[in-house]
Amino acid sequence: MMRWRRSWLACAALCAAALTCTAGARPAAAAGTTPAVHAALGRLWLGAAWYPEQWPESRWPKDLALMEAAGINVVRVDEFAWSTLEPQPGDYHFGWLARAIAAAARHHIYVVIGTPTDAPPVWLTNRYPQVLRIHADGRPAQHGNRRQFSYASPLYRKFCRDIVTRLAKRFGHNPDVIGWQIDNEYTNESYGPAAHRQFQQWLKRRFRSLAALNRAWTTAYWSQTYTAWNQIPLNDRPGNPGLMLAHRQFVTATWLSYQRNQLEALRAHIAPWQFVTTNIGGLGWSAHWNHYTITRPLDIAAWDDYVGEGQLDFYRNGAMSDFIRGLKRQDYWVMETQPGFVDWAPICNSLVKGGVRAMTWESIGHGADAVLFWQWRSALGGQEQYHGTLVGPDGKPEPLYAEIVRIGREFKRASQVIAGTTPRSQVALLLSYASRWAIDFQRQSVRYRQLDVLLDYYRPLEDLTHSVDIVSARAPLQRYKIVFAPSLNVISAKLARHLRRYVLGGGVLVLGPRSGMKDRYNRLNVERQPGPLVPLLGGRVQQYYALVSRVSVSGSMGRGTGRIWAEALTPHSSATRVLLRYGAGNAWLSGTPAALEHRYGRGAIIYLGTILNRRLMHAFVAHRLAAAGVRSPFGVLPRGVELMRRVGDGREVVIIINHGKRLRAVRLPYAMHDVLHPGRILRTVRLRSQGVAVLERPSIS
């Protein structure tokens, strides 16, 4: 169990006294224990990104008073402030940050410090141009933006470690600092000489010999065979699939070592009750690096939740929230949330009135313990002047501020009810970064978009169970009755053994199209799909086809169509059952199985070889859930209504949101307490558009 969680146990005796405290006030506790008590309580945190270095110090009290009035109890600071912290080499100015933290504390607001390494000062990049990131075309990045550094530069890491160490020594035991965020949205890799040499050295450590590398990458194809390590290229162009997969894995390893450099500096000096995280950008679904690997050594996972253009798609946003929760299989933080609108979308429209509140509560329902908005106040200059904020450049509240006040009031009421609860699922969706990368390298169809395929599975699972985990394919699976793997393209021998144990033990594994085509090196498996899982399935894929038009599909669960991708399956065992077949007139697919099922050990494996239309997909998922004994007491909800469950300590908390435009009613299976309206007990919930209900069932088995 991680060090931050361990520290909770040490302060358990203090929790009882603190339980009477409201979410907006400090609990009475012994000196130096306050942050640990708050961590142990698992309270709800509402916050914003605050940049005190951009404003006169005389303005701070007014901003902080407005934050306190809105119920904000945490701010993230400092992640872009290096030039203010160290305006000249070795000239450190930390006093302003200490005063800002103290000023926030006077308004009952805690602080998360962001390490400032995403935006190095100009003196550093001018004096040491070798730290600049090199684009794939050989051009160096220029100062004047952010992320212009090379993540592989040893010299840049030296400067990073110095500033982070000094910050940790100064604020690592400050009782008003509850956590640290390393850097900001790891994004851009470098293709410079340092990164190139490190890539070749990384390959040498991994393969140990050129013969092994050549064999793994099948370099005899097109005379790609390497006879020296320094011959291996580093670029962003399509090429050998093995090299491309290795590059993505190297990028992950390099960001991991970049992060470790700062993580070690922090943990050498900060108190155990201060957590460490980093914030994942790219709308959650970015594939620059393996999110599971990067978040593993951190205390909590965190991400930046944005919609961009349009309105909230609660299925997509819910899936991304579940994905972030699954990185460490525990509750998480939202370090940045869209405050109405952004400045980087094709059309930077605002979310509808009430949409920010609905989005915030959706995050809580899916396992967030904190939601922070980016940013508090509009910057007068810089590249993000038009981005939405809670307070305008004049320091006066924007129209959205009233919505934040309402959220803050609701968080205060719900904090103690939600404390200690988390989503708990009987079903999971499995992901693999090797598979994501392998398919993206060779999509075969521009319409095969992996997030869309994931959502095809997620929507019916969410509708029917109201709680879905999205986890690594290598995660422990014993707790799940059934798991779905939509595009598990790369199945190594080790992963195959892991999945086989799950099925033998009584689990149900549902594989989607393109599963098991590749091995760990991104080579084609010698066996046809699903590769090493063919013996479990008692069948295989005969051939795969990228579709130009839809094909008919039918079976005991109904009729529909397959689209984008279709695989003709062949059973090898009399015990293998055909669940779906392609209809006549589908050329190579006519009459062939589209889905197989095989009982194996105490469990079962199902292979679905196409992407079904929504109605048939819903029927397919419902059929599989029923067979696995998975059901929700809340049944089917009205269209546009989302229901989420958090459980813990014998309590059940249910959050219901009406994302639609019409009044909706939800009949509850049992009476529940209305948390946002104390004293009310409900059996039916009625919600207007963007309405939110938070309900508690105090005693469950």
Catalytic annotation, residues = 185, 336
Sign of CA dihedral 31, 37, 43, 47: positive
Q: Is 464 helix (H, G, I), strand (E, B) or coil?
A: helix
The two beta strands, 177-181 and 110-114, are parallel
Query: What's the residue count for the chain?
Result: 701
Distance CA 248, CA 649 (A): 41
Is the CB of residue 467 less than 8 Å from the CB of residue 321? no
Write down the H helix ranges in 505-592.
534-537
The two beta strands, 539-546 and 508-511, are unpaired
316 Cβ contact partners less than 8 Å away, ≥ 6 residues apart: 451, 455
Tell me the C-alpha to C-alpha distance, in Å, between residue 633 and each of 630, 643, 668.
10, 11, 8
Q: Is 262 helix (H, G, I), strand (E, B) or coil?
A: helix
Closest CA to 180 of 90, 299, 320: 299
Q: Which helix (H) or strand (E) holds 471?
A: strand 469-472
Distance CA 364, CA 361 (A): 5
The angle that helices 401-418 and 355-365 make with each other, rounded to 10 degrees, is: 20
Is the CB of residue 695 less than 8 Å from the CB of residue 653? yes
**Residue corresponding to tokens 């992963």:** 495
Q: Which amino acid is at 658?
A: N
Sign of CA dihedral 145, 149, 150, 152: negative
**Cis peptide bond prior to 530, omega within 30° of 0:** yes
Is the CB of residue 499 less than 8 Å from the CB of residue 353? no
Q: How far is CA 587 from the centre of its chain?
A: 41
Tokens of 636: 């089917």
Distance CA 180, CA 299 (A): 10
Closest CA to 598 of 650, 646, 537, 553: 537
Distance CA 141, CA 131 (A): 10
Is the CB of residue 90 less than 8 Å from the CB of residue 129? no
To 5 degrees, how large is the angle CA 202–CA 299–CA 431?
Answer: 60
Burial of residue 684 (CB within 10 Å: 0-12, 13-18, 19+) is exposed
Write down the H helix ranges in 466-551.
493-504, 534-537
Adjacency order of strands within the sheet including 279-280: 275-277, 177-181, 110-114, 74-77, 45-49, 368-373, 332-337, 302-305, 279-280
19 Cβ contact partners less than 8 Å away, ≥ 6 residues apart: 41, 416
**Residue corresponding to tokens 């919609």:** 307
The strand pairing partners of 546, in sequence order, are 565
Tell me the C-alpha to C-alpha distance, in Å, between residue 524 and each of 284, 377, 492, 532, 541.
29, 53, 11, 11, 13
Q: Which helix (H) or strand (E) holds 543?
A: strand 539-546
Sign of CA dihedral 535, 536, 538, 542: negative
Is the CB of residue 276 less than 8 Å from the CB of residue 328? no
